Amino acid sequence: MQVIKYPKRKDWNQILSRPENNVEEMAELVNQVFEQVKNDGDKALLKYTSLYDGAEIDSVEVSLEEIEASESLVSQELKNALTVAANNIEKYHSSQLTKPELIETSVGVSCWRKFTPIDKVGLYIPGGSAPLFSTVLMLGIPARIAGCKEVVLCTPPNKDGKINPVILYACKLVGVDRVFRIGGIQAIAAMAFGTETVPHVYKIFGPGNQYVTAAKQEVTKKGVAIDMPAGPSEVLVMADESSVPEFVASDLLSQAEHGADSQVILISWNETLIKDVAIEVEKQLKSLTRKEVASKALANSKLILVGKMEEALALSNLYGPEHLILSVKNEDDLLNGIQNAGSVFIGNYTPESAGDYASGTNHTLPTNGYAKSYSGVGLGSFMKSITFQKISEEGLRNLGPVIEVMATAEQLDAHCNAVSLRLNKIKAKS
């Protein structure tokens, strides 16, 4: 990890730069795959599954028998853990349900908003180097609470064309309707356009690598919504002398092991802590099963020493991290100043791993600085709102003249006439 001491503000953007990808090259590949999936449907999915996943499969859909059989292939200990996590996730997301509230904006003018579920949603679950069955819970549970009518899920198979049984068990646990053994760009294309087997959906959810992220962004041009740009994982830790170097190092490594294109950053105003964390990172790295992946991510990562806490906060807000960890003694001094972050973890005993698995909050979060303008996934992500209004005769008598004046000023005579006709009718009756 690169150590940077007391950076000048003019250099902050460069210091906080993320690993770059060849967007133009990816866009060309994405559109090529999209066209083939649109034209050839399932045949193209089989082709790309062979090409990119190295799996020869006869059908893209996972049978109900395979899903049922997964239960016997998962340990009871893990099933118990999934149940606890699912209960916490359900409890947290259920709290976000809202009831329509009627607002009388003026006498006789009533307005309200109703939330309705998105009928058809598609969930993408990464499954290459690390099968993220936890993401099935994070996306499937709020989809069920929201009342989505059709929930389909795509995840890449292994070389034998099989899906990790824990992913399938999680699908059964949360009530996913249909599961497909396809990954990458082709999975996003299948859900966006539909094939003979895979249904077209209205919105696509889920994290993925740079190609999945590029594909998700491309489908927004084709009339399909996405949750957010959610690419390579990242974490920023703000820590002082009250933090535990071993804990900070473990949090940095927990994100570095996600992928070679992940990025982790520590910002502190305590130089001794930075030195201790650097030593601890190297020590813990040696024992990781994914140490090669983590090592590559650490090459893109930084340990930044600043003069004071306020600078650390300003740097963090400029970066807009997916995950933000506060390991400081005066956390309240920082909380109100946080403007840009996907999810925040407070104190020495709140590891980011808790949010990834079981505390209850959602781990599908904006990356690459999108936390400056996007929220993480929540119950509302699976719903849309419809506004309603009802105006009585008295209400239109009061509000109508205002509308007439504004419509006339915009030279929209028909708008004005729609009110004037009604007002004349009301006057004629009285």
Q: How far apart are the first and last CA of the chain?
A: 80
To 5 degrees, how large is the angle CA 287–CA 293–CA 298?
90
CA distances from 71 to 86, 164, 205 (A): 16, 11, 25
Q: State the helix-helix crossing angle for 291-298 and 271-285, rounded to 10 degrees.
A: 150
Alpha helices in 101-202 (DSSP H): 133-146, 165-174, 184-193
Q: Measure the CA–CA gap between 394 and 277, rounded to whole angstroms.
A: 69
| 6 assigned to a ligand binding site | no
Tell me if 164 is assigned to a ligand binding site: no
Give Cβ neighbours of residue 135 (< 8 Å, ≥ 6 apart).
123, 125, 126, 206, 207, 363, 364
- C-alpha to C-alpha distance for 367 and 374, rounded to whole angstroms: 9
Question: Angle at the Cα of 377 (from 375 to 383), degrees rounded to 5?
Answer: 105
Q: Does 48 count as an annotated binding residue?
A: no
CB 153 within 8 Å of CB 122: yes
50: annotated binding-site residue? no
Count Cα atoms within 13 angstroms, Cβ side, for 100: 15
Question: Which residue among 218, 311, 322, 352 is the active-site one?
Answer: 322
Q: Which of 385, 60, 64 is nearest to 191 (CA)?
A: 60
Element (H, E) at 415: helix 413-429
Look at residue 130 and give its three-state secondary structure.
Answer: coil
Tokens of 112: 């309200």
106 is in an annotated binding site: no
Q: Phi and psi of 4, rounded to 5°?
A: -125, 125
Residue carrying structure tokens 């906080």: 16
Please check if 22 is assigned to a binding site: no
Query: 284: which residues sit within 8 A by CB, 6+ positions away?
Result: 246, 249, 250, 253
Burial of 308 (0-12, 13-18, 19+ CB in 10 A): exposed
At residue 103's C-alpha, the angle toward residues 99 and 104, to 5°, is 155
71 DSSP 8-state letter: G
The answer on whether 209 is annotated among ligand-binding residues is yes
255 is in an annotated binding site: yes
**Which member of 218, 257, 280, 323 is catalytic?**
323
Instruction: Locate 356 and state its tokens.
Output: 């990834």
Active-site annotation holds for 323: yes
258 labeled part of a ligand binding site: yes
- 233 annotated to bind ligand: yes
Annotated binding-site ranges for substrate: 233, 255, 258, 323, 356, 410, 415
Annotated binding-site ranges for Zn(2+): 255, 258, 356, 415
Annotated binding-site ranges: 124, 186, 209, 233, 255, 258, 323, 356, 410, 415
Annotated binding-site ranges for NAD(+): 124, 186, 209
Q: Which of the residues are catalytic?
A: 322-323
